[in-house]
Structure 1
Amino acid sequence: MEFYTNALAHVLSFGPLTAMIGATLLGVFIGALPGLNPVMAIALLLPLTYSMDPLVALAMVAGIYNGSMYGGAIPAILLRIPGTPASIATTFDGFPMADKGEAAKALKIASWSSAVGGIASAIALMTVGPLLARVTLFFGPAEYFWIAIFGMASVGVMVGSDPVKGIMAAVLGLLIGTLGIDNLSGQARFTFGQTWLLGGLDLIVVLVGLYALPPVLQLAEKTDLKGLSAAQLKLTNVPFKPGEVRGLIPTWIRASGIGIGVGILPGAGGNIAAFLSYNAAKNASDDPSSFGKGNPQGVAAAECGNNADNAASMIPALSLGIPGNVVAALVLSALTIHGLQPGPQLFHQNPVLVGGFMMEMLLTSVLIFALGGAVATRVFAQFQRLPGVLLVPSILILMCVGVYVINGRPVDLWVMLAAGLAGYFLEKVNVPLAPIILGMILGPMAEQSVRRALLISRGDATELLTRPISAALALATLLVIAWPIAKAMRRRRGTKAA
C-alpha cells in the first residue's frame, strides 16, 4: 500500500494532474472523430514528450488512451460510424437507441460503462502487475528468449483473420529489427553503407508511419466535404426506468472480467474484448432477440469490455516487457525514450514511476465519469460536423513535425512515408500491422537473449529447454502455433465430408 501512497502524492501534483485532465478531454475528442484513433494520437504525442517529466508524459498517454476508447462511442451511437475499431460492437445497439430518440441515454450508459471497465482494469493492473514482476525475477536469458518468441507467435496468430499473414507480419518486423549495429558483436548489419541506418530504424518513426498515415489516406479517399447538420445532433434526455441502472451491474462485472482476461493476452485487443462481452451479455439475457434493436445492455457490455482491456494490456508490458497491444508498445517506447528499461526490474528501480502510471490509468478512468457523460459528450459530439477534408492536412502537418523533432533528420520523413504506404497497402490485403511493431520490439530481445543463453551454456542448445519455466513457455508457444493449424485442418476435413 505504501508503494501506491507514495506514487499518489506525485500523481496529484500540478503537472501530472493537469496532464490527466487535458489528455482525457483530448482523448475523447480524438475518439469522437472518425478516422482518428488512440494509436495515432499517442504515436504523434511521443516525440513531443522528450523534454517532459516521465510521470507527466505517461499521464498524457493514460488520458488519451482511456478518453479515446470512450470517445469512439460518440460517432458509433450518433452516426453508426465506430470512432475506434473497439467501438464497432457499440454500434449494434447504440445507433438503434439513438434512432429511437435515446441518444443522450446511450451516451450516458457508454460513459459509465467505459469508466467501470477502465477502473476494474486499472485495479487488475495494480494487483497482478507487481505479483507477475516478482515471478519474473527468476527469469534468465533462456526464459526471456521464449517469452519473446511466445509474444510474437501469440500476436501473429491472434491478430487478424489469417494466422499465416500474422506470422509473416511478425517475421517482417523481426527482419526490420535486425537493421543496424549488432549489440553483442558490434558488426553493422543490412545498412548498405548508409550511416543513418547504423542505429536501425527508429521505432517511433515507423509507428507513426504505419499507424497514423493509413487512416489519413483512408480519410482522404472519402473526400468528405461536409459534416453532420446541427439538427442531426440534437440530444434529448430520456429518463432511466426504475432499476434499469442497477440491472447493468451484472453486465459490467461480466464484461470487466472478459476485458481484463483479453487484455492480458498479447495482441488480442479491445475490439475482441468488446465482441466477446457483447456476445456474453446476449447469451445471458432473458430476451436475446432485443439485442441489435436498442438494448442498453448491449451498449454497456461493449463499452465496458473494450475499456477493461486498456490497463490490463499493460500487465505483460510492464512486468515482462511484452506489450499486450500496440498502445502498450507505445508505452514501452515512452519509457525507453526517458531512459527506463521495461521489465521486472522497473518495479524495483522506479517504483514511483510505475505506481504513478498505474494510478494515472485509474484516475483517468474516474475522470470519464466526471467529464465524459456531461461536458465531453455534448461538446465533442459537435465535432461530427467537421468535414474530413479539413482533418487530413492538419494531421499530416502534425505527423511531419512530430517525426522531424525526434532526430532532426529529413530522412526520417521518408522512412515515415515508406512505412505509411506499406501499412496502407498491407491493410488492403488484410495483413495485420501489430505483429510488425511487436516483431521490431521483441525480435532484438529474442536474439540477444538466445545468444547470451548459448554463451552461458557454452553452445549447449539443450539449456534453452532444461529449466522448467523455459520448457513451459516453449510448450505454450508450440500450442499457440499448433492450435489454429489444427482448427484449419479440422474445418477442411469437415468441408470434404460435407
Structure 2
Amino acid sequence: MDKLVYLAEALTLTNLGLALIGVVAGIVIGAMPGLSATMAVAVLVPFTFTMDPASGLIVLGAIYTGAIYGGSYSAILVNTPGTPSAIATTFDGFPMAKRGDGALAVSLATLASVTGGLVGALLLMFLAPPLAQVALAFGPPEYFWLAVFGLTLISALSVGNLLKGMIGACLGLLLSMVGIAVIGADVRFTMDSQILLGGINIVAGLIGLYCIPVLIDLVATRDPHLRVAAESGGFRLKEAFAITMKEKVNLIRSSLIGTIVGILPGAGGSVASLVSYSEARRSSKHPERYGTGEPGGIIATESANNATVGGGFIPTLVLGIPGTPPDAVILGALLVQGIRIGPTLFTTQGSIVYTFIFGLIIGTLIMLPVGLLIGRYAYKSIVAIPKSALVPTIAFMTVVGSFAIHNNLNDVAVMLGLGVVGWLLNRTGYSPSPIVLGLVLGQIAEQGFVQSYLIGNAQGNVLGMFFGRPISMAIVAFAALTLFYPLIAAAIGARRARKSHTDITVESRDGQP
C-alpha cells in the first residue's frame, strides 16, 4: 500500500510537469554533439535545490534518461553520436538512414530506449540491495577483463579487414595513454605540449573522429546527405513494433546487460552498448548484416544504454558509489538535500526514494510519445535542411560541445586535430569505431591492469590475480567466444556448404539410370 501512495505522489501535476520538461530538455541536449547527459544534469542541479527533494530528483532523472536517448538522433541521422553512449548506434543507425529508413530507425531506438529504461528502473525498485552487492564483487581484474571484453567487438566492427580494425584499436589505446598516467603520474606521449598533459578527452575525441570527417565529406560531395524512400512516411511505428517483438530476446538480454554494466562504477552507457552490440551480433543468425543497417543493432545498443540509468542508481543509492558520471552529480544533489545514502535509505527515507523511482518510470514512459514526436520532426528537418545550412550548424555545435567540456580551447584543438586525422584514416579504409573503442576502453583497461598487477605482485600471485577469480574467468570465456565467433561461424558455414554440395552430388548420382 505504501508504494501506491508514492505512485500517487509521483503522479501529481507538478511532478508530471517536471518529468515532461526534464525529458524534453534532456532529449534536446543529448541530440547535440558534445553536450552529454553529465553536462545537462550538472548545469541544472542548482535549480533543484529549492524544490522538494523527490521533485528535484525526478527532474534530474528525467533529464538524464532523456539525454541518453537523445544521443540516438544525431547518431542515426548524421552519423554523429550525441553522447558517448550512442557510439554503437551509429554502426547500424546511419546505414538505415542512408537507405531511407531513418524514421524506422528512430522509432526502433525509441521503443528500445523505453524498454531498457523500464527494465533498469524496475530492477532498481525491486532488486537494488542484492544487485548492489554485484558491484562490490568487481575488483580491478574484473574491470580489466571487462574492458578487454569490450575490445573484442573489434572483430565485429572489422569484418573483411580485421587487420585494419586491430591497427585502429591499437591507435585508440595509444591515444588513451596520452597525458599523465592515472596510476604513477608518469607523463607520456605529450611531446612537451601543455595541451596534452590532461590527455585526450573522450568526448572531444569522439566528436573529432566522428563529426569532422562527416562534415568534410558533406562539403566535398554534391550528393544529398540523406535520401528518403517515397513509400516510407510517418513514424512507421507498426513496422518498428513488429521488428522489436521479433528481436524480443535481444531486447531483454541487452536491457539486462545494460542494467548490470550500469551497476559497475565508472562503466557507463558506452561500455554497456558496446558489450550488448557484441552479444547481439554473436547470437544473431545473420551476423554479417550487423554494421550495414541491421535493426537488431539499434535495439541492442539503445536498450542497453538506457538501462544503465536505472542500473547506475543502484550502487549510488545503496552504497553511495556512483555507477555512472551523471550519478556522481546526482549523488552530490542528494547530499545537499540532506538525504543519507546507504542500505537503510529505502526504509528511513523511502517516501523520497520510491517517489523518485516512480517518477523515473513515468519519465521513461513519457519518452515514448515525446521521443516519437520530436524524432519525426527531427528526421524531416534534417532531411529538408540544405547542406549549406546543415554543415555550419553541426560545425558550430561541435566547437561549442568540445569547448563546454572543460571551458578549454585546448579540447577544441584536440577535437579538430583528431578530426583531420580521422578523415585521412577514413580515406585509407580505417573506420573510426575501433579507434574510439580503444580510446574509451583504454583507460579502464590500463587502470584495472596496473592495479591488478600491483596487488598480485604484493601477494606474490600475479597470475592468480588475473586468472584465479571466477567472475574474471567467466568474462574471459565470453571475450574469447566473441573474438573467435566470426571465424568459428565461417568454418561451420563452409562445412555445411560442402556437406550440402556433397549430398546434392550423391543424390544426383543415385537418380541416374
TM range (shorter): 0.5 to 0.7
Q: 1:259 to 1:299 in 2, by over 3 A?
A: same
Q: Secondary structure at the match of 2:165?
A: helix
- The one-letter amino acid of 2:439's match is I
Q: 1:24 to 1:471 in 2, by over 3 A?
A: closer
Post-superposition offset of 1:114: 5.3
Bigger Cα displacement from structure 2, 372-381 vs 456-465: 372-381
Q: Is the 8 A contact 1:23 1:60 kept in 2?
A: yes
Q: Is the 8 A contact 2:282 2:482 kept in 1?
A: no
The equivalent residue for 1:261 is 253
1:125 paired to 2:125: no
- The one-letter amino acid of 1:193's match is D
The 5 A counterparts of 1:209-358 are 209-223=208-222, 252-262=244-254, 264=257, 267=274, 307-312=302-307, 332=324, 334=326
The equivalent residue for 1:200 is 199
Q: Secondary structure at the match of 2:185?
A: coil
1:21 paired to 2:13: no
- The one-letter amino acid of 1:458's match is G
Q: 1:52 to 1:237 in 2, by over 3 A?
A: closer
The equivalent residue for 2:82 is none
Q: Distance in 2 between matches of 1:356 and 1:164?
A: 51
Q: Distance in 2 between matches of 1:388 and 1:349?
A: 56
Q: Secondary structure at the match of 2:463?
A: coil
The equivalent residue for 1:381 is 380
Q: 1:15 to 1:160 in 2, by over 3 A?
A: farther
Q: Secondary structure at the match of 2:274?
A: coil
Q: Is the 8 A contact 1:262 1:269 kept in 2?
A: yes
Q: Secondary structure at the match of 1:186?
A: coil
Q: 1:18 to 1:48 in 2, by over 3 A?
A: closer
Post-superposition offset of 1:451: 2.9
1:476 paired to 2:478: yes
Q: Distance in 2 between matches of 1:260 and 1:278?
A: 17
Give the % identical residues. Answer: 20
Post-superposition offset of 1:57: 6.5
The number of residues matched between the two structures is: 429
Q: Is the 8 A contact 1:209 1:419 kept in 2?
A: yes
Q: Is the 8 A contact 1:66 1:361 kept in 2?
A: no
Q: Distance in 2 between matches of 1:90 and 1:347?
A: 45
Q: 1:218 to 1:167 in 2, by over 3 A?
A: same
Q: Distance in 2 between matches of 1:320 and 1:166?
A: 35
Could you tell me which runs of 5 or more consecutive residues in structure 2 were left unpaired when the two chains were aligned: 47-56, 79-88, 258-271, 288-292, 317-322, 333-340, 502-513
Quick one: which of 57, 61, 66 aligns to 1:63? Answer: 66
Q: Is the 8 A contact 1:89 1:274 kept in 2?
A: no
1:146 paired to 2:141: no
Post-superposition offset of 1:416: 0.6
Post-superposition offset of 1:74: 9.1
Post-superposition offset of 1:354: 11
Q: Secondary structure at the match of 1:461?
A: helix
Bigger Cα displacement from structure 2, 405-414 vs 123-132: 123-132
Post-superposition offset of 1:175: 1.9
Q: In the TM superposition, what whole-angstrom CA distance separates every residue of 1:237-281 from its partner, at most 9, and x where no partner exists? A: 99x9xxxx7x9976543323323435637526779969999989x
The equivalent residue for 2:153 is 155
Task: Tell me the TM-score normalized by structure 2.
Answer: 0.62
Q: Distance in 1 between matches of 2:72 and 2:275?
A: 15
Post-superposition offset of 1:394: 2.0
- The one-letter amino acid of 2:171's match is L
Q: Is the 8 A contact 1:156 1:167 kept in 2?
A: yes
Q: Distance in 2 between matches of 1:24 and 1:279?
A: 32
Post-superposition offset of 1:355: 9.1
Q: Distance in 1 between matches of 2:27 and 2:200?
A: 31
Q: 1:233 to 1:314 in 2, by over 3 A?
A: same
The equivalent residue for 2:447 is 445
Q: Is the 8 A contact 1:24 1:63 kept in 2?
A: yes
Q: 1:63 to 1:167 in 2, by over 3 A?
A: same
Post-superposition offset of 1:407: 3.2
Q: In the TM superposition, what whole-angstrom CA distance separates every residue of 1:282-312 from its partner, at most 9, and x where no partner exists? A: xxxxxxxxxxxxxxxx999898677545524
The equivalent residue for 1:182 is 181
Post-superposition offset of 1:465: 1.4
Q: In the TM superposition, what whole-angstrom CA distance separates every residue of 1:369-417 from its partner, at most 9, and x where no partner exists? A: 4335567636863553221111211222222233223334333222111
Q: 1:196 to 1:85 in 2, by over 3 A?
A: closer
Q: Is the 8 A contact 1:174 1:443 kept in 2?
A: no
Q: Distance in 2 between matches of 1:270 and 1:358?
A: 27
Q: Distance in 1 between matches of 2:491 and 2:250?
A: 28
Q: 1:447 to 1:172 in 2, by over 3 A?
A: farther
Could you tell me which runs of 5 or more consecutive residues in structure 1 were left unpaired when the two chains were aligned: 28-37, 76-82, 96-105, 281-297, 322-330, 341-345
- The one-letter amino acid of 2:21's match is T
Q: Distance in 2 between matches of 1:439 and 1:192?
A: 23
Post-superposition offset of 1:18: 1.4
The equivalent residue for 2:260 is none
Q: In the TM superposition, what whole-angstrom CA distance separates every residue of 1:438-463 from its partner, at most 9, and x where no partner exists? A: 33342333333323432442353333
Q: Distance in 2 between matches of 1:374 and 1:141?
A: 43
